[in-house]
Amino acid sequence: MAASETDKVVSNPDRLKRLYELALLDSEPDPALERLTSLASRILKAPVSLVSLVDAQRQFFASAVGLEEPWASSRETPLSHSFCKHVVATNQPLIVSDARKEPLLLDSPAIAELNAIAYAGFPLMLSDGTNLGSFCVIDHAPHNWTADELSILSDLAQSAITELELRSELMQRQKAELALSESRHFVDEVLRAVPDFVFVFDIRQNNVVFTNRGIRELIGFPHDQLAALVDGPMSTQGVLKAIIHPDDLSKLSENQAAMMRLSEGEIIESELRLKHIDGTYHWFYVRATAFERAADTGVPTQVLGIVLDETDRKRAQDDAQETAKKLTTLRRAESEFGRSLELEDILNVMMDNALRFTGATDGYIAMLENDDILNLVFHAGAYEKDTRFYADEGIVGRAVRTLQPQLVLDVRKDPDYVQNLPKTVAQVVIPMRSRNKLLGVLNLETARPDQRFSADVVDTLRSVVSRASLALDNALLLNDKELQLQELSEIHSRLIKLEQLKTDMIRIAAHDLRNPLGSIIGFGQLLVEENERLAEDQLDFLDMILKSAGKMQKIIEDILSLERIEEMQKGTISNRINLGDVIRSSVTDMTIRARAKQQQITLDMGDMPIMISGDEPQIREAADNLISNAIKYTPDSGKINVSLRLINDRAVFEVEDNGIGIPEAQQSKLFSPFYRAKTQETADIEGTGLGLHLVKNIIERHHGKMRFSSVYGKGSMFGFEIPLAR
């Protein structure tokens, strides 16, 4: 997306308004988000993990792990340093293995100043479609993000979104409560002038002497039943007892006694439940104040009362309390799930929250072992651990088959019910799923018919179980990874021992072969000197023996030379070498061999010294080997060019020939020990297969690397590059 389009999306007023409503910008770090970013860095082994909120001028980190100064203190960067703004602009994840090669990011100052090389970020998309920023991880080196890593990061981003949603809901509730409080004050004042039901109570007569007709509309009783109360003074005790909830009659008595304090200007307030004509009780708010006072004493003689139907408000309050309880349960569970990836801890948190929220007396968590068996792994109440159930039986089996929560308020009426506990009355079963995979079930039961099992409770449990299932799945995945790592470690240890055994055997064989091989060569040469006594075919046999012995001697020398190189890894190379002198001497010595095959060998290098740090005999051996190979694998009258030059503070040595070349299919194994490319042209050329492996070890020990290219039938180039001495 073009820069102007990105800025337009990032600066969208509606998006910014939603972001500012959360009040997270410039706030203290959020503990729940801190746990998620810490978990992301630990699981993905990423040095930096961020919850980045993007506004019109900057990105602010609501949570940050691994940032260096000055960014760690300021917890923000300008948008010029932001990769996350592209996640906001596209509403899509941004996955980058190397930002230096990404056209969208390669010019970003974040690469140099924040050392942001690899990046993976997922949108923080709220349920209303607002993208606040990105949940991301950053690596200081190129990183090819795996599918498992991205799946984990996506799940953690979703958890961060849940935290933001919870924060938004809590803030909206706080605003609603504030508005409700302000509204209550306003209602108090309005009730003085425009009440739903107004009455005047005479304290001396203990009678209601005036009412409006609003009471009939409030509680629905017809006129003939409340005529005495509405139309004239009379004793009201019988009527009041008939319509006031028994638990609230004591409040009425207390308020009658408190009326004597009205002379001091006190206002009496109370909440009462009055019976409606349909038999249900409605909540009413009652407010009383002095209406008339005795002229001689100033003591109130009549009280003005205002009654307002509070049923809807009380229900809304109960709903709000239930919602707050639900949010508290979800937030507590989310926080506790983020503290540990231990299987036992997650199961304990899930069951503890479920029992506290529902008040269930018995329950269990069972994991699906296969398609048929549920194994009980955590229990409460009368259930016992390690019990097993069939996955297709009972209400639990129905939840497994349908993958839907099951709420049964009377198990005796459910045809699928299978009795496990004799006192169970109601049952709730919630399937545990993660990444479209069924992990098991949470089962809760109660022996009390008045238990708090309801559809709302099931929705909350479903949210808790969803978060727990994700944490549980991650714990199981981590456990599998740890087992795999342990197995790999054991395999690695065995391989190291086998490699050491192989090395020891090669060393022993090489050393032990030198003496008898020396005897063979020595006595063979004596026989050659006595060639007058030998027939022509015997001389041919002797020549074959000496050539084979020479070949074996070369193999032993290569093996022992390779052993010396490996021993060098224990020390430090510090000698300064003029690489030009080494190459010039090697070419001079090899020219004689080239002339024997009528080959033309040339040297292309300047006179300026090219200094490197290293071991001169080893470097000479590497150069000799490459030049010797070029002579060996180039036909008679061929051309060989040796060059040495400087490229970007590195010495580059190359030997190029127009020889037989190497088939492409065989090139990947050239530097493996004992490997030789096999073609029709090389069938009669002798070699050990250790030369190139030896050269590679020498060069890599000197912090260099090999250079190679070849075209079969046209020739090859072998060489190396080594850093210059400091």
pLDDT tens digits for range 588-611 = 888 888 888 899 999 999 888 999
Instruction: Supply the range of the domain harboring residue 311.
Output: 195-317
Instruction: Let me know if residue 241 belongs to a domain.
Output: yes
Q: pLDDT value at position 323?
A: 55
Are residue 66 and residue 153 in the same domain, yes or no? yes
Q: What is the pLDDT of residues 135-153, one digit of tens each?
A: 999 999 999 999 999 999 9
With CA atoms as reference, report the closest residue to 500 among 554, 566, 565, 557.
566
Nearest in space to 438 (alpha carbons), one of 539, 367, 334: 367
Residue found by looking up tokens 């910008």 in the block: 25
In a domain, 719, yes or no: yes
Instruction: Please give the C-alpha separations between residue 9 and each of 84, 85, 91, in angstroms, as whole numbers.
Output: 13, 9, 10
Beta strands 94-96 and 118-125, pairing class: antiparallel
Dihedral sign computed on CA atoms, order 181, 183, 187, 190: positive
Q: Which pLDDT value is given to residue 590?
A: 87
Instruction: Report the alpha-carbon distance of residue 295 to residue 286 in Å, rounded.
Output: 27
Please give the structure tokens belonging to residue 723. Answer: 């850093």
User: CA 203 to CA 255: how far, in whole Å?
Assistant: 12
Segments of 67-115 assigned E as strands: 76-78, 94-96
User: Is residue 421 domain-shared with residue 369, that is, in the same domain?
Assistant: yes
The CA distance from 355 to 73, in Å, is: 42
Q: For residue 381, is it left (φ>0), alpha (ψ between -120 and 50) or beta?
A: left
For residue 200, being part of any structural domain is answered with: yes
The phi and psi torsions of 122 (rounded to 5 degrees) equal -120, 145
Cα 303 from Cα 678, distance rounded (Å): 115
Question: What distance in Å separates the CA atoms of residue 303 and residue 325, rounded to the nearest whole number?
Answer: 40
Predicted local confidence at residue 2, as pLDDT? 67
Whether 575 has a pLDDT exceeding 70, the answer reads: yes
Name the strand (E) or helix (H) holding 209.
Answer: strand 207-211
Same domain, 41 and 157: yes
Q: What would the two tokens of residue 430 be?
A: 């919630």
Asked, for residue 549, whether it belongs to a domain, the answer is no
The residue behind tokens 């707050």 is 324
Q: Are 8 and 40 found together in one domain?
A: yes
Q: Which helix (H) or strand (E) holds 577?
A: strand 576-578
| 587 phi, psi to nearest 5 deg | -60, -40
Say which residue, 420 or 312, is predicted with more confidence. Answer: 420
**302 C-beta neighbours (distance < 10 Å), count:** 17
Whether 412 and 343 share a structural domain: yes
Q: Which residues pair with 475 in a beta bridge?
A: none
Tell whether 236 is covered by a domain: yes
Tell me what the mean pLDDT of segment 119-131 comes to. 92
State whether 346 and 280 are in the same domain.
no
Tokens 């001169």 map to which residue? 616
Which band of pLDDT confidence, cut at 50, 70 and 90, is reported for residue 170?
A: confident
Say which CATH number the domain at 257 has: 3.30.450.20
440-470 confidence digits (pLDDT tens) = 888 888 887 655 687 777 787 777 777 777 7
Q: What is residue 138's predicted lDDT score, i.e. its pLDDT? A: 95
What percent of the chain shows pLDDT beyond 90?
23
Identify the helix (H) or strand (E) that includes residue 65: strand 58-65
Among 172, 204, 220, identify where a domain stops.
172
In-domain check, residue 188: no
CA–CA separation, 355 and 451 (whole Å): 12
Q: Are 556 and 510 in contact (CB under 8 A)?
A: yes
Tokens of 213: 């007709």
Structural domain contains residue 118: yes
Pure H helices in 531-642: 536-568, 579-596, 616-632
Residue 583 lies in a domain: yes
**Per-residue pLDDT band at 232 (split at 50, 70, 90):** very low
524: its two tokens:
């063979």
Q: How confident is the model at residue 543 (pLDDT cuts 50, 70, 90)?
A: confident
> What is the layout of strands, in order, in the sheet containing 600-604?
600-604, 639-647, 650-657, 715-723, 705-711
Do 231 and 205 fall into the same domain? yes
Q: Are residues 146 and 236 in the same domain?
A: no
Q: Are residues 230 and 115 in the same domain?
A: no
Residue where a domain terminates, one of 464, 498, 521: 464
The residue out of 298, 317, 336 marking a domain boundary is 317
Helix 691-701 and helix 616-632: axis angle, to 10°? 150
Q: Give the Cα separation of 292 and 201 in Å (integer).
A: 10
Element (H, E) at 301: strand 300-309
Six-digit token pair at 97?
């293995």
pLDDT band at 18 (very low <50, low <70, confident <90, very high): confident
Query: Would you say 99 and 119 are in contact if contact means Cβ atoms under 8 Å apart?
Result: yes
As for how many domains the chain has, the answer is: 4
Looking at the fold, whether 405 and 269 belong to one and the same domain comes out as no
pLDDT at 98: 94
Asked whether residue 97 carries a pLDDT value surpassing 80, the answer given is: yes
* Statement to judge: residues 8 and 151 lie in one domain: yes
Q: Which of 56-60, 308-312, 673-677 has the lowest mean pLDDT?
A: 308-312
Q: Cα(504)–Cα(508) distance, rounded to whole angstroms?
A: 6
CATH of the domain at 37: 3.30.450.40
Name, in order, each residue with C-beta under 8 angstroms of 139's C-beta and a sequence gap of 6 or more. Answer: 46, 47, 48, 117, 118, 119
Q: Other C-beta atoms within 10 Å of 77: how many?
A: 21
Paired sense of beta strands 281-293 and 373-380, if any: unpaired
pLDDT band at 234 (very low <50, low <70, confident <90, very high): very low
Q: Tokens 């990046």 belong to which residue? A: 119
Are 167 and 18 within one domain? yes
